[in-house]
């Protein structure tokens, strides 16, 4: 805050004045402008001290201080000087007299913006506040849901981690169940080991081809590294979906040949996770192969943990779209042909996190043979998927384009108040 009195020289392109002459002109104008002698007219010092007259003059002077004076210094108007005064009371007085009026009418001369958190340097916990402000400025969550959004901004990790995967020869593969989608094609082994998030909320799921030859299908879970403080797991409340077999035969879909292995595409979700009831979230997942008749069928199994004093507010499915075979092959073909022209193409998601693989985890340079049967795209939601605190409450296997893929059910959880 203060005042500024500046002289600018503007030289047009058609001017032939040399640089030295221009500098001399600027120096001459500055000497005349900022000279200590007063060049004010005598009538200015002999004005009456009438209050109303002084008030009007002050207002006019403040208005003049916002305007700049433009003067020409050549016949062709190719050299122009611009005199700018900011702050103070400008009555065309000398520079020295103008300086004495700055305290009466100061102006903003320059501004520098600093983070509000810099005012908290040395205060305990200021780092957490800085991180919270940066998250809000980056993702712009709804202000009424900011508390839940910040609770979920914890580091995320995949289970199992890449360091836990066996890349060398696996003798135990002989005991694993396998699937075969073509008569002379390779077998796809299935890792049926249960993946556990340790009771922490799951935010993503993916299919992965493990092993040295990438011929072992497994399921991985992305979860938060810690349990949010608003979550409280009920003790010994883990439910699984192993024994759910009702009406699942209608969801058995082949990959290539109808006589070979099939995939169960039935939705897997906890039956008690309805709206306005205590919510259950996914904390475990594994794959299972069962022999039904003369065929082997691949199933997805999930384990759920109940969250105390929380209910599901909203749910939606995310992942590869698929058309149920229950509607018939002809109607499915017609629906797919017409829907592709109506639905707009989804915009590619911009991933700013270098630790995330949007198209799936790293694979060898040579594409595995069984990759044409499995879609390993990661399905995960984070802070950029507003409101930013989605959790997995269900999933299903899909068959589309001759590939096994996933669809994931995401839900938003809210606290149940005593009044409710």
- Both 177 and 88 in a single domain? no
Among 75, 99, 123, the domain-final residue is: 99
- Both 295 and 157 in a single domain? yes
Most confident by average pLDDT, 8-22, 64-78, 243-257:
8-22
The answer as to whether 38 is a domain residue is yes
- Both 35 and 168 in a single domain? no
Among 71, 99, 127, the domain-final residue is: 99
- Both 150 and 94 in a single domain? no
More confident residue, 358 or 103: 103
More confident residue, 57 or 111: 111
- Both 223 and 367 in a single domain? yes
At 264, the pLDDT band (50, 70, 90 cuts) reads very high
Q: Which residues of 260-299 are buried (b: 16+ CB within 10 A; e: fewer)?
A: bbbbbbbebbbeebeeeebbbbbbbbbbbbeeeeeebbbb
- Both 80 and 223 in a single domain? no
The pLDDT, as a whole number, for residue 416 is 81
| pLDDT tops 80 at residue 297 | yes
| pLDDT tops 70 at residue 346 | no
CB-count exposure of residue 187 (10 Å: 0-12, 13-18, 19+): middle
The pLDDT, as a whole number, for residue 239 is 63
Domain containing residue 13: 4-99
The token duo for 11 is 């030289």
| pLDDT tops 80 at residue 76 | no
The answer as to whether 391 is a domain residue is yes
Per residue in 9-68, pLDDT tens? Answer: 888 877 777 888 888 888 888 888 777 554 544 344 434 344 443 444 455 544 455 555
The answer as to whether 9 is a domain residue is yes
Contact 96, 36 (CB under 8 A): yes
Beta carbons within 8 Å of 43's beta carbon, 6+ residues apart: none
The answer as to whether 162 is a domain residue is yes
Q: Give the CA distances from residue 391 to residues 129, 225, 286, 411, in Å, rounded to whole numbers and listed in that order.
A: 25, 14, 18, 5
Q: Give the CA distances from residue 188 to residues 101, 280, 360, 380, 382, in Å, rounded to whole numbers and listed in that order.
A: 87, 32, 19, 25, 31
- Both 20 and 150 in a single domain? no
Cβ-based neighbour number of residue 90 at 10 Å: 22
Triad 251, 344, 346: Cα angle to 5°: 75
- Both 200 and 325 in a single domain? yes
- Both 261 and 409 in a single domain? yes
- Both 67 and 168 in a single domain? no
User: Across residues 216-238, what is the average pLDDT?
Assistant: 86
> Looking at the 3D structure of the chain, how many domains does it have?
2
| pLDDT tops 90 at residue 223 | yes
- Both 61 and 160 in a single domain? no
Contact 375, 404 (CB under 8 A): yes
Q: Which of 228, 207, 220, 203 is nearest to 282 (CA)?
A: 203
- Both 157 and 29 in a single domain? no
The answer as to whether 160 is a domain residue is yes
The answer as to whether 290 is a domain residue is yes
| pLDDT tops 90 at residue 221 | yes
Among 99, 132, 155, the domain-final residue is: 99
Most confident by average pLDDT, 74-83, 107-116, 237-246, 269-278:
107-116
Q: Chain centroid to CA 342: how far?
A: 28
The answer as to whether 135 is a domain residue is no
Residues 153 and 157: their CA atoms lie apart, in Å, by: 13
The answer as to whether 198 is a domain residue is yes
Cβ-based neighbour number of residue 223 at 10 Å: 25
- Across the chain, mean pLDDT equals 77
């Amino acid at each position: 805050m203060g005042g500024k009195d500046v002289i600018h020289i503007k030289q047009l392109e058609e001017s032939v004045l040399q640089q030295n002459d221009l500098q001399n002109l600027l120096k001459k104008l500055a000497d005349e402008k900022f000279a200590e002698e007063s060049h004010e007219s005598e009538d200015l010092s002999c004005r009456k001290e009438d209050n109303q007259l002084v008030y009007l003059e002050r207002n006019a002077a403040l208005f003049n201080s916002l305007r700049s004076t433009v003067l020409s210094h050549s016949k062709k108007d190719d050299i122009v000087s611009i005199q700018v005064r900011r702050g103070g009371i400008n009555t065309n007085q000398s520079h020295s007299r103008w300086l004495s009026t700055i305290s009466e009418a100061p102006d903003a001369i320059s501004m520098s913006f600093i983070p509000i958190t810099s005012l908290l340097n040395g205060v305990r916990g200021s780092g957490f506040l800085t991180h919270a402000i940066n998250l809000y400025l980056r993702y712009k969550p709804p202000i009424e849901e900011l508390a839940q959004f910040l609770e979920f901004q914890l580091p995320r990790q995949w289970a199992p981690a890449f360091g836990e995967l066996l890349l060398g020869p696996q003798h135990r593969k002989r005991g694993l169940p396998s699937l075969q989608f073509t008569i002379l094609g390779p077998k796809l082994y299935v890792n049926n080991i249960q993946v556990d998030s340790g009771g922490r909320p799951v935010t993503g799921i993916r299919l992965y081809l493990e092993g040295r030859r990438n011929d072992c299908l497994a399921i991985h879970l992305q979860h938060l590294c810690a349990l949010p403080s608003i979550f409280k797991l009920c003790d010994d409340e883990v439910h699984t979906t192993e024994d759910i077999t009702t009406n699942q035969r209608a969801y058995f879909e082949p990959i290539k040949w109808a006589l070979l292995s099939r995939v169960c595409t039935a939705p897997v979700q906890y039956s008690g996770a309805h709206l306005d009831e205590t919510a259950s979230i996914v904390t475990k997942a594994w794959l299972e192969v069962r022999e039904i008749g003369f065929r082997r069928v691949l199933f997805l199994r999930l384990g759920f943990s109940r969250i105390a004093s929380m209910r599901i507010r909203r749910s939606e499915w995310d992942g590869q779209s698929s058309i149920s075979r229950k509607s018939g092959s002809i109607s499915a073909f017609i629906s797919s042909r017409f829907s592709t022209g109506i639905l707009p193409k989804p915009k590619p998601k911009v991933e700013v996190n270098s630790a995330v693989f949007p198209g799936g985890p790293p694979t060898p340079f040579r594409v595995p043979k069984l990759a044409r049967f499995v879609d390993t795209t990661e399905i995960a939601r984070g802070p950029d998927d507003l409101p930013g605190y989605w959790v997995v409450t269900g999933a299903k296997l899909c068959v589309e384009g001759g590939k096994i893929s996933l669809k994931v059910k995401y839900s938003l959880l809210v606290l149940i108040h005593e009044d409710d």
